[in-house]
Amino acid sequence: MMGERIQIETQGYHGQANPSVPPLFSRMFTRMTTGIGLLLVLVFFGLPIIKLIVLSFVSHTGISLENYAILFREGRTWTTIGNTLFLSISSTLLAIVLGVLTAWLVAYANIRGKKLMHAMILISFVIPSYVMTLSWTQFLAADGLMARMLSFLTGEVVKPWNLYSYDGMIFMLGIHHYPLVYLLSLSGFRRIPRELEWASRISGVGRWKTFFLVTLPLSVPGIVSGGLMAFLASLDNFGIPAFLGIPAHISVLSTSIYEQMTGFGPESIARAAALSGVLGVFSLVATWIQWLWLRRFKPIESVREDYEPRFYFSNFKLAVEIVVWIVLLILSFIPLLTMGFQSFLRAYGVPIRFENLTLANYEFILFENTKVQHAILNSFVLAGASVMICLVIGTGIAYLRVRKPNLVIRGVEMIVGLPYAIPGVVFALAMILAWMEPIPGWNPGIYGSMTILLLAYIGRFLILQVRGSMTAMMQVDQYVEEAAHISGASRFYKWKKVLIPLMLPGILNGVLLVFLTALTELTVSSILWSSGTETIGVVIFNFEQAGSTKYSTALSNLIVFVMVISAICYFSFNVRKRKEHKR
């Protein structure tokens, strides 16, 4: 007892000792660290983008609009822009319809198994788009599962849907991005107090009209934000147009920037920069429109989420549940399952019989092909390094942003978010321009090595960790920290016993997100890789382009496997945490 008191007193003494540092010096020190931090952030995050913008205006005649002028004179450019907008808008509409419908069912209806439904919906987004695409092309192939099922049912040879087409791409983009709309609409729906709907009913307005007059207007902010995210993600997406669009000669901005970069023509970089400018402008305009729109909406004052059902299917409940589950299984699960089977087959398209089963595909990618082994190693190293660096820097930024917010740190947050907000191909291009010759005439050899990939990954995914850690810290009230102080806990115990346990789940969410996104990254890597620095995504893409579907399938399955393992770890960790809390 006595000892504790003495300890507290000595702490108080130390606390008072601090001001004895000359105030002028400490203020200079703070300013210097702030300055250096800001400079680093600008160099690593802001500069590449600025350089890209500048370069898009530089041509052999000097600074002009010539690159854009040349671009817009070509009919092909207009087709590409038209394709991009058409695909993005249509797929966003599909994502909104699917997302709002599923969100409404999960938030409002009295159906069972909502937690599983939720997980099932998220699968579509968590699995990388190129893996999803691969699984769907096999599911719908001429001799795939769907074709067999349909011929069995109809007795004729049926050719299922050709995904290598506009509608196929719209479908894939839509089902990959609808979870974004779902997530934002879901919390929007749950935040609407049920009394607001009751007030409408009691005013003599029926169920349907109430939905359109009250529920929908109040959930619009969530739906629009989700829709915008789906739109931006469609502009940004590279996997789906690369896997479906390139074979079908349907080009969009992201793939044509890629083709420019791999084409290595004399003008290619300038053209790619100009195309990137166009794509960047689309993203910014979309964000701006959303901002204008959302400004008009009044926020709901309550923040409490209501998890109780509000709409009761009485007679149709089972029917609704069956339909929902069939749709969800087809959207998220069965194609992956077919891909799983496919990977054990001796050759693409042979019937599923025992003598056709083999492990040869896995043997090849895991033990025989050194390129794949390198790629797997590269991806794990890159993902691991990104996670560690993002964890330290991102959590630091998050701590300052939450506890000591000022203009500088807000600016830092915005700049750090920029590389994630702009399309991946655009950022990749910016990275090349920034690091090929950081100072004219000096090439440090960063471009062409693993370093540029690491820099790009950190640049692009740091914001994910910042957001994750920020959410975690905002959940820990300032009072909790103060209560630890007032109870006499030392700084060490304050962090060990109070802050870290409370923040850990949120921070881990960020870590997991950064890890999985980096591990399966394709867009940025497809432009920045060079011989020896392939990543998993790049190898799958190369296999697919070379027609080696067996191997791309097997490797995609490995990704799914890693994701399943991560998901299991994540959930069992959460369940254990929850049990601890209950105790």
Partner 1 sequence: MNILLKDINKRFGDQPVLQSIDLSVQSGEFIAILGPSGCGKTTLLRLLAGFENPSDGEIYFGNERVASSLTWAPAEKRNVGMVFQSFALWPHMTVREHVEFPLRYGKKRTDTSRIESVLKAVGLSALAKRFPSELSGGQKQRVSFARAIAASPDILLMDEPLSNLDAELRLEMRREIQQLHRYTKATIIYVTHDQGEALAMSDRMVIMRDGKVEQVGTPREIYNQPKTEFVAKFVGKANLIPGEWNQEKFIPRYAEEGVFWTDSETSDVFRKKGLFPLRPEQLFLHRIGPGIKGEIVNSQYQGKEIHYTVQVHEERWEVHSNIFQDYHIGEEVFIKHKSHTLSL
The pattern of x and - marking residues 484 through 513 that bind partner 1 according to CB under 8 A reads: ------------------------------
Q: Which is nearer to partner 1, 143 or 195 (CB)?
A: 195
Interaction between residue 315 and partner 1 (CB under 8 A)? no
Interaction between residue 198 and partner 1 (CB under 8 A)? yes
Beta bridge partners of residue 357, listed in sequence order: 345
Residue whose pair of structure tokens reads 């797997």 in the numeric block: 376
Tokens of 298: 């009044």
C-alpha to C-alpha distance for 416 and 464, rounded to whole angstroms: 10
Interaction between residue 206 and partner 1 (CB under 8 A)? yes
Yes or no: say if 107 and 192 are a contact pair by the CB < 8 Å rule: no
Least CB distance to partner 1 at residue 311 (A): 13
Which stretches of 1-88 are assigned E, i.e. beta strand? 58-59, 62-63
Least CB distance to partner 1 at residue 117 (A): 23
Least CB distance to partner 1 at residue 182 (A): 23
Least CB distance to partner 1 at residue 558 (A): 48
C-alpha to C-alpha distance for 144 and 379, rounded to whole angstroms: 31
Yes or no: say if 123 and 117 are a contact pair by the CB < 8 Å rule: no
Count of residues of this chain found to bind partner 1 when the rule CB under 8 A is applied = 24
Residues within window 148-167 making contact with partner 1, judged by CB under 8 A:
none
Interaction between residue 410 and partner 1 (CB under 8 A)? no
Interaction between residue 583 and partner 1 (CB under 8 A)? no
- CA separation, residue 77 to residues 71, 103, 114, 269, 286 (Å): 6, 38, 45, 15, 20
Least CB distance to partner 1 at residue 474 (A): 23
Q: Which is nearer to partner 1, 4 or 308 (CB)?
A: 308
> Among 161-169, 228-236, 296-304, 364-372, which window interacts with partner 1 (CB under 8 A)?
296-304
Interaction between residue 314 and partner 1 (CB under 8 A)? no
Interaction between residue 309 and partner 1 (CB under 8 A)? no
Q: Please return the burial class of 542, using the count of CB atoms within 10 Å of its CB with bins 0-12, 13-18 and 19+.
A: middle
Interaction between residue 204 and partner 1 (CB under 8 A)? yes
Interaction between residue 288 and partner 1 (CB under 8 A)? no
Residues within window 210-249 making contact with partner 1, judged by CB under 8 A:
213-214, 217-218
Among 31, 76, 201, 346, binds partner 1 (CB under 8 A): 201
Q: Which is nearer to partner 1, 159 or 207 (CB)?
A: 207
Least CB distance to partner 1 at residue 315 (A): 15
Least CB distance to partner 1 at residue 287 (A): 23
Cβ neighbours for 348, distance < 8 A, ≥ 6 positions apart: 342, 549, 550
Among 70, 205, 248, 320, binds partner 1 (CB under 8 A): 205
Least CB distance to partner 1 at residue 107 (A): 18
Q: Which is nearer to partner 1, 218 or 286 (CB)?
A: 218
C-alpha to C-alpha distance for 90 and 134, rounded to whole angstroms: 21
Backbone angles phi, psi at 193, to 5 degrees: -65, 135
Least CB distance to partner 1 at residue 310 (A): 10
Least CB distance to partner 1 at residue 222 (A): 13
C-alpha to C-alpha distance for 524 and 461, rounded to whole angstroms: 11
Interaction between residue 295 and partner 1 (CB under 8 A)? no
Q: Give Dmax over CA atoms of the chain in angstroms.
A: 90
Interaction between residue 73 and partner 1 (CB under 8 A)? no
**Tally: H helices and E strands in the chain:** 28, 2
Interaction between residue 300 and partner 1 (CB under 8 A)? yes
Q: Which is nearer to partner 1, 208 or 264 (CB)?
A: 208
> Among 85-93, 180-188, 205-213, 223-231, which window interacts with partner 1 (CB under 8 A)?
205-213
Least CB distance to partner 1 at residue 203 (A): 4
Backbone angles phi, psi at 432, to 5 degrees: -60, -50
C-alpha to C-alpha distance for 502 and 331, rounded to whole angstroms: 36
Backbone angles phi, psi at 439, to 5 degrees: -120, 130
Q: How many CA atoms lie within 13 A of 244 on its CB side?
A: 32
- CA separation, residue 308 to residues 22, 190, 193, 256 (Å): 59, 9, 11, 48
CB atoms within 10 A of CB 139: 21
DSSP state of 217: H
Among 2, 24, 202, 292, binds partner 1 (CB under 8 A): 202
Interaction between residue 297 and partner 1 (CB under 8 A)? yes
Yes or no: say if 343 and 553 are a contact pair by the CB < 8 Å rule: yes
Least CB distance to partner 1 at residue 185 (A): 16
Backbone angles phi, psi at 164, to 5 degrees: -80, 65
CB atoms within 10 A of CB 272: 30
Which positions lie near partner 1, rule CB under 8 A? 193, 195-196, 198-207, 209, 213-214, 217-218, 297-302
